[in-house]
Amino acid sequence: MVFFRPDRPGYGENPYPELERLRRAEPVHWSANLGAWVLTRYAECEQVLLDAETFSADPADEGGPAGERVAAHRAAMPLGDAPILGHEDGPDHARLRGVVNRAFGARAIAGRQRDIRAIVAELLGRAEPGRPFELMGGLARPLAAMTALQHFGLPPARWEGFHAAALAVMRARVEGLSDPAAPAGAEAAADYILEALDEAAPAPGEDGSTVASELARALDAGELSAAEAVMLLVHIGLAGNGPTAMALGHAVAALAAHPAAGEAMLRGDLAPGAVVEETLRWDSPTHAVPRFALADVQVGGRRVRAGQRLLVMIGAANRDPERFAEPDRFDPWRREDRHLSFGVGKHYCLGAPLARAELAIALEELVRRFGVPRVVEAVRGGTLLVRGFERLVIAPREPGELEG
């Protein structure tokens, strides 16, 4: 009999042996304890992510009491009926994504690189030379948040207030029924976010496009409602920060465990972007993605019924030997790099170009200043859906020190 227990001790530290065992035994597995189908093979994971007409991203589409609770909660909350980009699949998804696409185009991201490098330099400048440095709190998390806020085009004076307002809006969406103060807090937060949008400024450069300026333009043109603009900004502002920060932690830990790759970076023989892509494949911060069947359908020879939940195990798909040669080996020189860490299809991560830019710049600057680091302390955190380090203390290597 096959079991999948990601709640067991040690799974978060290293889930890959368990995922490999499950993929060999039953790649489309019904987990009674999770109440979901667990997909561990690349082919089925890609199939489900590509087919937005059959597999919804919206938790309200789960059958039975679970979906009913989500729908009832939204009906009771301020902005509850405003669509969230990551949960939409139909025309609303295309319309909402179309509003902000230009702000994530190649030209807009190229215009951000100097700013990202300045943020990295400021954060790394706080590290004591030659001393241990806590990467997650000192660089990874603040870099992800500051890069997103700067890319929005909001005035810096609004950054701290926006982050608090965005959290208040999402808190009401998630736990408003259990917190009587949450609905009123969300209404005040939405007003604050709309005020901040009024102050949005175009980015310097040829196209002058920022997320906030695109939203302000769409509001003026009547392409968005105020509630939709607020939820777009909140979703984009919060959704990618955790995974991006965790990806940087994974990349630095991978270099520490594979010093030859770090030394190749130092020599200029290996691009930081190649390390980023292999890290995303080898140890993806996005560990699993939920989807909900809209109709009875066959997946990997198993019958999935309408309303059932599926867990697309990105971490397992990215190590499928049918898709990647020697998948458990960290190899930034490999050619097959079509991992699923940013998704695929309609829900391909909107912020992927920005995340790639900040991860590559941060790695380049970190190795330039620290050399190939060693790990002094590592504490895992996260959830089944998003996993990474809570703390990661690194230090320069001692002369002649070898590791990995």
Complete DSSP assignment for 201-237:
-PPSSSS---HHHHHHHHHHTTSS-HHHHHHHHHHHH
What residue has token string 């489900």? 48
- Containing 389, the helix (H) or strand (E) segment is strand 387-396
Residues shown for the chain: 404
Q: How confident is the model at residue 208, as a pLDDT? A: 56
Q: Which domains does the chain have, with CATH numbers?
A: 16-396 (1.10.630.10)
| Beta strand pairing call for 309-312 and 36-39 | parallel
| Beta strand pairing call for 55-56 and 133-134 | unpaired
CA 171, CA 189: separation in Å to the nearest integer? Answer: 11
CA distances from 196 to 121, 168, 171, 290 (A): 27, 15, 20, 33
pTM, to two decimals: 0.93
Taking only the tens place, the pLDDT of each residue in 34-82 is 999 999 999 999 999 999 999 999 999 999 999 998 888 888 887 788 8
Question: Would you call 384 helix, strand, or coil by DSSP?
Answer: coil
Taking only the tens place, the pLDDT of each residue in 231-281 is 988 888 888 899 999 999 999 999 999 999 999 999 999 999 999 999 999
Nearest of 31, 177, 204, 36 to residue 108 by alpha carbon: 204
The answer to whether residue 201 scores a pLDDT higher than 60 is no
Six token digits for residue 330? 């960290």
Sign for the CA dihedral angle at 163, 168, 172, 177 comes to positive
Question: Contact, 230 vs 169, CB < 8 A?
Answer: yes
Q: What is the mean pLDDT of residues 85-105?
A: 87
- 77, amino acid identity: M
The answer to whether residue 205 scores a pLDDT higher than 50 is no
Taking only the tens place, the pLDDT of each residue in 276-317 is 999 999 999 999 999 999 999 999 999 999 999 999 999 999
The answer to whether residue 204 scores a pLDDT higher than 60 is no
What residue has token string 């690194």? 394
Quote the Cα angle for 361-264-262, to 5°. 60
The answer to whether residue 174 scores a pLDDT higher than 90 is no
Identify any residues that bridge with 133 across adjacent strands, giving them in sequence order. 394
Residue 152 pLDDT grade (very low, low, confident, very high; cuts 50, 70, 90) = confident
Residue 329 pLDDT grade (very low, low, confident, very high; cuts 50, 70, 90) = very high
* Average pLDDT of every residue of the chain: 90
Q: What is the 3-state secondary structure (H, E, C) of 128-152?
A: CCCCCEEHHHHHHHHHHHHHHHHHH
Taking only the tens place, the pLDDT of each residue in 348-372 is 999 999 999 999 999 999 999 889 9
Quote the Cα angle for 19-25-26, to 5°. 85
Which runs of consecutive H residues, i.e. helices, occur in 77-112?
Answer: 91-100, 106-110
Percent of the chain with pLDDT over 90: 62
Q: What is the 3-state secondary structure (H, E, C) of 20-39?
A: HHHHHHCCEEEECCCCEEEE
181: Cβ–Cβ under 8 A, 6 or more apart, which residues?
Answer: none
Residue 126 pLDDT grade (very low, low, confident, very high; cuts 50, 70, 90) = very high
The answer to whether residue 401 scores a pLDDT higher than 70 is no
Q: How confident is the model at residue 176, as a pLDDT? A: 64
Residue 292: what are its φ and ψ, rounded to 5°? -135, 125
Q: What is the mean pLDDT of residues 152-157?
A: 83
User: For residue 241, how many other CB atoms are within 10 A of its CB?
Assistant: 23
Alpha-carbon dihedral of residues 32, 33, 35, 37, nearest 10 degrees? -70
Give, rounded to a whole angstrom, the gap between the first and last alpha carbons of the chain.
37
Q: What are the helix and strand counts (H, E) for the chain?
A: 17, 10
Percent of the chain with pLDDT over 70: 95
CA 151, CA 168: separation in Å to the nearest integer? Answer: 21
Question: Contact, 312 vs 289, CB < 8 A?
Answer: yes
Residue 156 pLDDT grade (very low, low, confident, very high; cuts 50, 70, 90) = confident
